[in-house]
Structure 1
Amino acid sequence: GQYGAVTRIAETILGSTSRASAVAFPKPLAAEHAEQVYACTVRLVAHMARRLSSRERDVAQDKADLSSVLHILKAISSKRCAHDILYVFVQQIARVVPMRRCSVVRVWGGEQRGHVLASHEDPSVRDLVIELSKYPEIVEAMEQRDKVVVNDVLKDPRTKPFAAELAHSGITSLVVIPLVLFDQNVGSLVLRGARGAGPFSTREISFCEIVAEAAANALERANLFEGLQRVNERLEVLAVTDDLTGLYNHRYFRERLEEECARAQRYQLPLSCIILDVDDFKRVNDTYGHLTGDCVLREIAARTSQMVRKSDIVARYGGEEFVVIMPQTDLEGAHTQAERIRKGICEKPFDGLPEDDRVTVSIGTAVFDTQTMQDCEALIRTADEALYEAKKAGKNCVVTKQRSVEGI
């Protein structure tokens, strides 16, 4: 039965060992040794069973860890924003490795303060300032350029000065793992984990290191993406911006005017346009120099922008001419606004000019007549004709027109 089977296993094992050592195994097995062989074999089989069971658990844990890593990598790779990556990172780590607190801290250069960029407890945390003097484990991780593990905050000399505070927060052990160190673009980033249920195991620390490396790679891609995005946004702004005044340029003005005219035509909404020209601007350049002339143009641009609504579009039309598109504004409203702009420019002195040498503008104002105007060109032409009449009338005035001569 069971006894005989176990005995045969023992005999086979011992027989193999005896042959290897050239020592003959006594046959048949003496009765007085049978119980000893049986007990030894039972212990051997039990030990092998435990080893096999432990190995099975390890394989199952490795499989679970791999699945968790893949899950986190998938979650991280779907993000393009650095903060989103960091939050998913700490959230997922805290899900797999039980922690009381899991966060990513950034340190710039030799600063004495750190910035918590993400915490699994609160997704709104983006830049929480902390004093590094209270976090010696972070300082050491940066100095050593390696992970720091504190198994017992009460006994570890590094955290002993803050043991009472940590214990009050329910923290008994810490781990700090560098993600990025001394990068000129992002500084130093470290993962800090804290728990109150015993020290971190070697497996848990290894898991955090693997995911931290993946997060660092994802952050590099995100920073590159965000950098390219900022460059593209900057290029888009430059493409529609006048270099001298910072206003929209002529090309952008034409695009927006066409859009607003189409909207006004479709929904029968009022739309007005103002063109203003600096009076005798050549005299300003000839008398005070072109640098002063440029300052005058910038100041006119700034004053005009301050006096219009957010929905209005102010652009440099060309040279010393400026234009304002005023959606949902009728002729009366456009004239009132143009008069405000004229007074705002002529009633205040300009830097670089004498107090009594005031700069004035002539303004032509027109409203888009959906019945007589076929396109935005007619609106511009009408406003330009009104500007010409303002110049003829003696300058420093506003002239409004509702339709062009062709439309009458």
Structure 2
Amino acid sequence: MRQGSARCTSICRVTDGLCGDRSSASRSVDPRIRLGRWWICLAIRPPCWRSTLKTTRTPTRTSCECCTTCHRRCVRPDGFVSRLVARREAATAQAAALTDPLTGLGNRRALAARRPTGDYALISVDIDGFKGVNDSYGHAVGDAVLSAVSGLLTRFIRDYDSAYRLGGDEFLVCLPGAGETPAVRIAGRIRSGMQSLSIDGLPSGADVTLSVGVVVAHNRLAEEFEHELELADEALYESKRSGRDQVSVHHAAV
């Protein structure tokens, strides 16, 4: 056994501590320590993992000829690492699918996946004359305006609120549990905050404003969210019709 162990160490260039042992003593090792050994083995890449040696592969480990001689096995955590990488890539892809790439806000798909229920308020935001900004100053300035608006939304909403870019110059803020008073206060801060922003590439004389609509929902089901979203848009259009740069609140008919 000593000769086999020495042979394993000399050929593989790893100590006994880095090899998995089939003995009962090895099985009693703390799993966290064993996991650390796996990472060390992965980092140093001993020659016994190379294809030049005779290997017998399983989905998650490789047994090399030298280790078999000494009744020990060098564990190669290919399956473990590949699963970690796959999970990370899947999480990254999922986050990208739910995020607007320009502003970093959630998109329509994210909103559909997180439709609120119960009591909440919706704030619908639209940039006044955004098409004119793009036509007059270019899309780069238009993108800067969109990013500035997204910054306003994240600046003034609460930690547990959420903001979305629905497309173009349309934004939505969802305020769980909010009544009309806090919703209107936040909407007003967003609207007035736009007036004090300085945007790169946009002349100081250019007047970019926001029209805002607010609706408050009570005891709503997830299936009723689309209807509440339409009401928020109606309030937004009322702000547009009334001269823009305003906050309008939708009140249910009595």
TM-score normalised according to structure 1 size: 0.47
8 Å contact kept, 1:349–1:358: no
Match of 1:224 among 74, 78, 82: 82
Aligned residues: 211
Quick one: structure 1 residues 335 and 89, their matched pair in 2 at CA, closer, same or farther if it must change by over 3 Å? closer
Match of 2:159 among 310, 313, 316: 310
Question: 1:386: which partner in 2?
Answer: 235
Match of 1:292 among 113, 117, 141: 141
Instruction: Supply the RMSD in Å over aligned alpha carbons.
Output: 3.0
Quick one: structure 1 residues 182 and 331, their matched pair in 2 at CA, closer, same or farther if it must change by over 3 Å? same
Shift of 1:360: 0.9
Quick one: structure 1 residues 242 and 356, their matched pair in 2 at CA, closer, same or farther if it must change by over 3 Å? same
| Distance (Å, rounded) in 2 between the aligned partners of 1:281 and 1:66 | 69
Where structure 1 has 5 or more consecutive residues not aligned to the other structure, the ranges are 1-64, 77-83, 91-102, 107-177, 184-205, 265-269
Matches within 5 A, 1:92-111: none
Question: 1:88: which partner in 2?
Answer: 34
Larger radius of gyration: 1
Q: Does 1:233 align with 2:64?
A: no
* Identical columns (%): 31
Question: 2:14: which partner in 1?
Answer: none
| Distance (Å, rounded) in 1 between the aligned partners of 2:99 and 2:219 | 30
Question: 1:251: which partner in 2?
Answer: 109
Question: 2:191: which partner in 1?
Answer: 342
Question: 2:58: which partner in 1?
Answer: none
Shift of 1:70: 6.7
Match of 2:171 among 317, 322, 341: 322
Q: Helix, strand or coil for the counterpart of 1:363?
A: strand
| Distance (Å, rounded) in 1 between the aligned partners of 2:150 and 2:84 | 32
Q: Does 1:377 align with 2:226?
A: yes
Shift of 1:381: 1.6
Quick one: structure 1 residues 232 and 374, their matched pair in 2 at CA, closer, same or farther if it must change by over 3 Å? closer
8 Å contact kept, 2:122–2:175: yes
| Distance (Å, rounded) in 1 between the aligned partners of 2:209 and 2:42 | 60
| Distance (Å, rounded) in 2 between the aligned partners of 1:232 and 1:328 | 32
| Distance (Å, rounded) in 2 between the aligned partners of 1:325 and 1:285 | 28
Measured against aligned partners, the alpha-carbon deviations of 1:146-191 in whole angstroms (never above 9, x if no partner) come to xxxxxxxxxxxxxxxxxxxxxxxxxxxxxxxx653379xxxxxxxx
8 Å contact kept, 1:364–1:383: yes
TM-score normalised according to structure 2 size: 0.73
